[in-house]
């Protein structure tokens, strides 16, 4: 008998969905009147400037449109509309790496957002629809900058601070950004690190679209200033007015772009809408995190990822909650940092990634017991499947067996949660995303739409458009269609395919089994193998390369590269030392091209890759080898079947 964990009802006061009956009723309501039910939520939740005329426009599928004709503004939804009832409530609680604390009330946040919005308009000539690239650390100004863009209708594109100058440059150029907002740097593990020099390097080439750089001061370290291009945020914002009217935005006006990895080619600029996105950000915040007025909510993600967008900034603020922003890392100065913060701020919802849970478990298994964690009601995980041992530790040691764990399955493209337990309602199975949220028509099917048998693996699809879904890939509608609507059909119509496999148990529980494409998941971060391969190929001595994910104790998956060198290193007596040198060089290239998050954990130097006669690399074999699985694939079609044994020997030696 599997373990089932029922919600501890005494921890919940007034959850919006109280039990599975209510869940089923709501799901049935959506099934009975899909559009009408979405409309009733849009009416209830969004403070419309002008009501929409059409709920869902499917005329140009799969470029779906929601709530067309309506006007609203996301910054108004997240900040201004709360001022009547919550002006003195903490909106953002910031804790710096060094322990600095800062609290912004909703009124203060409104004031900062308005000044920044005015500065963007007056000093940088940013207009509605212009793209602003944001390369910033986890400081309150990052949220202010996002909301200031939303206030005036500029489209932000945040680039994670761990990406390299090259990666930043690619994104700036693709988005044709007008302005880059950055900081001198920030603090990490007690030491300053720099961001501005990376921007300088990115702008050295091909970024003619960018005319100005706006720099927030955080660590106070010396930086170079380019006259006429670089401006101090802190200086300019001072003189701006704290009054700024919200730009009326059409429901479908883009709110932001966020670049993410695909299975092929360069990262794609996932484009999200205004109304549909914020509606679902707010609804899932209320349903999945049971946000109540006096709660303090903490998500440990970085704003450079979608989790930071939806569940540090937009979702919590749209719901009028108090959101914690943390600059540091969970293990500094020690493995009790997070638990100390939970105790100090009386955190009610704590949301993090399995990789962080595994790290905290490993480095401080008994740390949680040293702190009073009784404020916690909900523990969330996101980014990759959570393994049962990590789940158990999280549930028992962190949650004291009293909290609901919400294993939230979703993607950059989905905008918000898709499959997740409802904390007061869903009986939870460890390491299982459970059921689709109400309104989400998630189905596990075969390519032609046939539902898969219970216990069989199938494609995780969403068979109806939903409001917060990706609208397109910036500047590449064809790639959007091909990437998401090219694989699976239902009733002859293309449906959204997530790229993940999944299976369902007899009682309807969904377990995500992972990507079915060439995307790997490193510490909950998505990495395209093609991107890493392109970087490795830049090494002069690399003839060919194939990158796969290798199970990793903490990261979930690590990056493993099979490399064929053009010429075998000269000194045959000390081959390992030579290979170690090449590995170092390859990793240096990766660091420059992508960033430290894409470094190879391991490289196997092999004489050749398993290729079919037509030259296609059989990656499945390479994946099996690295996992130590028996090779079940037919190797007889390979150009050189003997290569498989040779590679196995090298990997296992």
| Least spacing, CB of residue 650 vs ligand WT7, in Å | 29
Is residue 165 helix, strand or coil?
helix
User: Residues, the chain, total?
Assistant: 653
Backbone φ and ψ for 80, nearest 5 degrees, come out as -60, -40
What number of other Cβ atoms are within 10 A of residue 572's Cβ? 8
Q: By CB under 6 A, is residue 383 in contact with ligand WT7? A: yes
384 binds ligand WT7 (CB under 6 A): yes
72 vs 258 by CB, closer to ligand WT7: 258
Q: In which element (H, E) is residue 105 found?
A: strand 101-105
DSSP summary character for residue 113: H
Q: Does 500 bind ligand WT7 (CB under 6 A)?
A: yes
- Going by the DSSP 8-state scheme, the letter that residue 50 receives in this structure is B
Q: Which of 233, 409, 484, 560 is close enough to bind ligand WT7 by CB under 6 A?
A: 409
Within 13 A of 137's CA, how many CA atoms are on the CB side? 26
Range 302-331, binding ligand WT7 (CB under 6 A) = 306-307
| Stretch of 4-12, 45-53, 401-409, 621-629 lying at the interface with ligand WT7 (CB under 6 A) | 401-409
Classify residue 467 by its DSSP letter. Answer: T
Query: Is 160 near ligand WT7 (CB under 6 A)?
Result: no
If the CB atoms of residues 337 and 515 are measured against ligand WT7, the closer one turns out to be 515
Which residue(s) pair with 102 in the sheet?
Answer: 94
Provide the 10 A C-beta neighbour count for residue 152.
25
| Angle separating helix axes 529-536 and 575-593, nearest 10 degrees | 120
**Residue nearer to ligand WT7 on the CB measure, 178 or 515:** 515
Contacts of 557 (CB under 8 A, 6+ apart): 384, 520, 521, 522, 549, 550, 551
Query: Is residue 410 near ligand WT7 by the rule CB under 6 A?
Result: yes
CA 211 – CA 227 distance, rounded (Å): 11
Using the CB atoms, write b or e for 584-594: b if 16+ within 10 Å. eebbebbbebb
Residue 472 binds ligand WT7, judged by CB under 6 A: no
β-bridge pairing 322-326 and 90-95 = parallel
298 interacts with ligand WT7 by CB under 6 A: no
471 contacts ligand WT7 (rule: CB under 6 A) = no
Smallest distance from ligand WT7 to CB 191, Å: 27
468 binding ligand WT7? (CB under 6 A): no
**Shortest reach from residue 121's CB to ligand WT7, in Å:** 32
Tell me the C-alpha distance between 415 and 306, whole Å.
7
Among residues 315 and 524, whose Cβ is nearest to ligand WT7? 524
Min separation Cβ 452 and ligand WT7, Å: 18
Binder among 512, 609, 622, 644 for ligand WT7 (CB under 6 A): 512
Could you tell me the smallest distance in angstroms from the CB atom of residue 98 to ligand WT7?
28
According to CB under 6 A, which residues from 416 to 455 bind ligand WT7? 433
Measured CA distances, 273 to 70, 252, 532 (Å): 12, 5, 30
Task: Return the number of the residue (219 or 521) whose C-beta is nearest ligand WT7.
Answer: 521
Interface region with ligand WT7, contact rule CB under 6 A, candidates 247-255, 379-387, 608-616, 633-641 = 379-387
**Is residue 385 near ligand WT7 by the rule CB under 6 A?**
yes
The label of the residue with tokens 């990406």 reads: 163
Which residues in the 516-535 window bind ligand WT7 by CB under 6 A? 521, 524, 526
Does position 118 bind ligand WT7 by CB under 6 A? no
Binding site for ligand WT7 (CB under 6 A): 260, 306-307, 382-385, 407-412, 433, 498-500, 512, 514-515, 521, 524, 526
């Amino acid at each position: 008998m599997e373990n089932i964990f029922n919600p501890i009802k005494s921890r919940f006061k007034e959850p919006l969905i109280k039990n599975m009956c209510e869940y089923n009723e709501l799901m049935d309501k959506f099934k009975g009147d899909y559009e009408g039910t979405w409309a009733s939520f849009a009416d209830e939740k969004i403070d419309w400037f002008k009501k929409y005329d059409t709920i869902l426009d499917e005329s140009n599928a799969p470029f779906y449109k929601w709530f067309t004709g309506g006007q609203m503004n996301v910054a108004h939804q997240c900040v201004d509309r709360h001022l009547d009832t919550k002006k003195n409530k903490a909106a953002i609680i910031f804790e710096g790496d060094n322990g600095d604390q800062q609290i912004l009330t909703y009124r203060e946040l409104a004031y900062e957002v308005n000044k920044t919005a005015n500065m963007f308009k007056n000093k940088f000539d940013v207009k509605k629809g212009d793209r602003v690239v944001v390369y910033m650390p986890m400081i309150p100004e990052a949220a202010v900058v996002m909301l200031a863009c939303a206030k005036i209708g500029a489209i932000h594109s945040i680039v994670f601070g761990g990406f390299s100058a090259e990666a930043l440059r690619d994104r700036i150029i693709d988005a044709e950004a007008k302005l880059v907002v950055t900081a001198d740097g920030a603090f990490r593990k007690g030491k300053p690190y720099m961001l501005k020099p990376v921007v300088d390097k990115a702008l050295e080439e091909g970024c003619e679209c960018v005319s100005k750089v706006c720099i927030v001061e955080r660590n106070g370290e010396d930086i170079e200033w380019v006259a006429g291009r670089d401006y101090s945020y802190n200086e300019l914002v001072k003189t701006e007015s704290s009054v700024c009217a919200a730009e009326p935005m059409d429901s479908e006006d883009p709110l932001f772009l966020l670049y993410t990895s695909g299975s092929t080619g360069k990262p794609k600029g996932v484009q999200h809408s205004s109304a549909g996105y914020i509606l679902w950000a707010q609804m899932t915040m209320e349903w999945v995190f049971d946000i109540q007025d006096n709660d303090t909510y903490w998500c440990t993600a970085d704003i450079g990822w979608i989790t930071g967008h939806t569940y540090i900034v937009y979702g919590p603020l749209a719901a009028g909650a108090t959101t914690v922003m943390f600059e540091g890392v969970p293990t500094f100065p020690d493995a009790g940092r997070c638990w100390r913060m939970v105790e100090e701020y009386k955190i009610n919802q704590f949301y993090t990634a399995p990789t962080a849970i595994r790290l905290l478990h490993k480095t401080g298994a008994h740390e949680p017991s040293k702190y009073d964690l009784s404020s916690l009601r909900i523990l969330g995980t996101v980014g990759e499947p959570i393994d049962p041992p990590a789940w158990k530790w999280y549930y028992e040691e962190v949650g004291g067996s009293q909290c609901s764990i919400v294993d939230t399955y979703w993607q950059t493209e989905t905008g918000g949660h898709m499959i997740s337990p409802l904390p007061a309602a869903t009986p939870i199975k460890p390491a299982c995303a459970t059921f689709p949220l109400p309104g989400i028509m998630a189905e596990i099917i075969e390519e032609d739409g046939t539902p898969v048998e219970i216990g069989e693996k199938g494609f995780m699809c969403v068979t109806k458009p939903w409001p917060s879904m990706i609208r397109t890939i910036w500047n590449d509608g064809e790639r959007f269609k091909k990437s998401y609507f090219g694989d699976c059909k239902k009733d002859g119509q293309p449906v959204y395919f997530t790229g993940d496999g999944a299976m369902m148990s007899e009682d309807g529980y969904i377990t995500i089994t992972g990507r079915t494409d060439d995307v790997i998941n490193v510490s909950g971060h998505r990495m395209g193998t093609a991107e890493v391969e392109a970087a490795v190929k830049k090494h002069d001595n690399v003839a060919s390369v194939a990158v796969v994910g290798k199970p990793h104790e903490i990261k979930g998956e690590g990056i493993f590269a099979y490399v064929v060198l053009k010429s075998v290193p000269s000194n045959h007596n000390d081959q390992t030392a030579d290979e170690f040198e090449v590995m170092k060089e390859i990793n240096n290239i990766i660091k420059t091209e992508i960033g430290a998050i894409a470094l190879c954990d391991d490289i196997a130097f092999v004489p050749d890759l398993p290729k079919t006669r037509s030259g296609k690399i059989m990656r499945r074999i390479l994946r099996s080898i690295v996992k130590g699985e028996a090779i079940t694939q037919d190797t007889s079609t390979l150009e050189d079947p003997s290569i498989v044994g040779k590679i196995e020997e090298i990997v296992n030696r």
